[in-house]
A and B are shown apart, each in its own frame.
Chain A
């Protein structure tokens, strides 16, 4: 059922840029960073040429930067066959920001464009459903613009000298109005209905009657909100379902209940101060999140990571992947209605890995372990024997056990096979990543496609499955746990002694001006960090490309035509973590 494929090498981004430049002539220019720059009017043509003629069929990341005099929309495109992403930029003026939407070329741009609209107010012409996605409807203001001042913490110069300038000991929030004095509220807002504004003209109008309007024999459709307070949405996530009987006719994911504007806070924090903050993104796969951020900043600073630290990172990240997949398989079964037994068996293994994390980092979930140029602490002496036992003896058995009980279980197969099918073409077009993409038969793993760390030293395979259904995603996860064990078995004996933290020791890092998009393969998919530095002590722009968030773009496509119960299974197979979706 699962197969293991090797990814063919793709051309280097510089070659692609040169070729594009040659083909499209003066419509594109190349800036100093090697990025393609194109005007908004040419954007669609250029992107279509990039996709069709240069094989850049995968929109990895889409975000924007506020340069105070203009907005720059940044696209990272790459090929599903592998290779580093090329950067495409377009600029638009701040007064009336408008950029054509890439929705027609990459459906995966859907949520990412909505996020940029939500945060910057850039309108994407041609987007079919351009409305706020993370902030509440009716929120006045564009939070990631540089002139938007963050509630409670607004200061002219960031980072703050003190969070409590007057030495107050009460919470500043309590003294202010509902949302803080610097928050802009809609004109009609009275504060009586916190968080529930009256719909204004042209926004947030769900035409319930139109959605309900009937089918055969005058029967009605049912419009149901599933979530945010629902047992199986994995957190405060909402799906607005339109049901015909029990069949899903339409589905709209609604998110942002846990939005805390991670990126704005990240831009206020010091560079290193963001490190523990990344733990809060995907709290099931915390160390992978840290690694992505560390990788991005290291590349911007040109830091070398010592051998030992690289090995520690691989060991931690792969342990992390195993425990995360255990968790997601356990809870997928929970979503199928198994009464907690599989998840508790899976959690038992996860707890052991978390014990090891606690031993090495001092914390089970919020590890705060990676540093720019290495890791924070060396492994304690007792760590290696334990991890050896775990990897060589216990884990394999645990995976076999899960595999034996679940993989060929009649009901499990009945519920998972043929449900939520995503074809490979659609999976790529929707920019899905991780087990969702590989479950559709696309052998795309950032560890292989765009290698980082020392993954090229190990012998391992990219696990794929061809069916593209819930069962395929489950099978990919089982296979990946085995591959992670394989990597661990190779990495553990090779572990060298030596330094764990390279570079100059400093409390505050200096990141040279520039930008970089670094990505790692987190258990849930491609986790990317796009950082822009202007040489100051805090990032000028800090963007997280969240795999959960982008994978959700394909949710509606996967769910239509299936039953209510399948929606839960499909959501479970995407395996979202709301901390990362909402950021």
Chain B
């Protein structure tokens, strides 16, 4: 893509690291340690289940929180602090800057997730002394979580271009919740009487970001196989939607008069 975007991305990653964002890993590690010890006390047979469910859910939630809280400040902070001025005086296109910020946060999330995956693997090994072939589904689940985080990050970045961190957090959470319940929005449409409402609910439910597509935590804990076609489709979905949101964000950011 663009070398500039890559350079901005690495700097964004550096900023996150220096902001001590990665310290959340300590909390995660403590949690996994505590769970591993406790699970031994509860009952045999479901120990793997609990560790996988807990670990994957934690990875997802930690990632979401990080994506939103850092994401909403990505562009806003630069505009407020005016650090953007000297950067834009360089041969940097605005969209390159935006994509770079996105890439940097995504990189941060990926690194964070990688460490958490190692922690999960350690806990799993401690609890059951072995890895099963079906554990590959866990890796797919983590990959899907990353896809989900990419999309949430894109939305947070989008809002960051024009609204304050607090509002952006609300908007991003709102989109997440709406997208999460998109199937139910369609369902509510089927019990209404007006065909216009039904049609509207249907259309909206297909266009909202369907975050539930990425949640295969229960399949991972049961070791179900995930069809390769689903992996491809989810990847394509995330890629298309991220592109959509970034195009929208670029349009807005490129036209903005900064302070």
Chain B associates with chain A: no
Residues of B within 8 A of A (CB): none
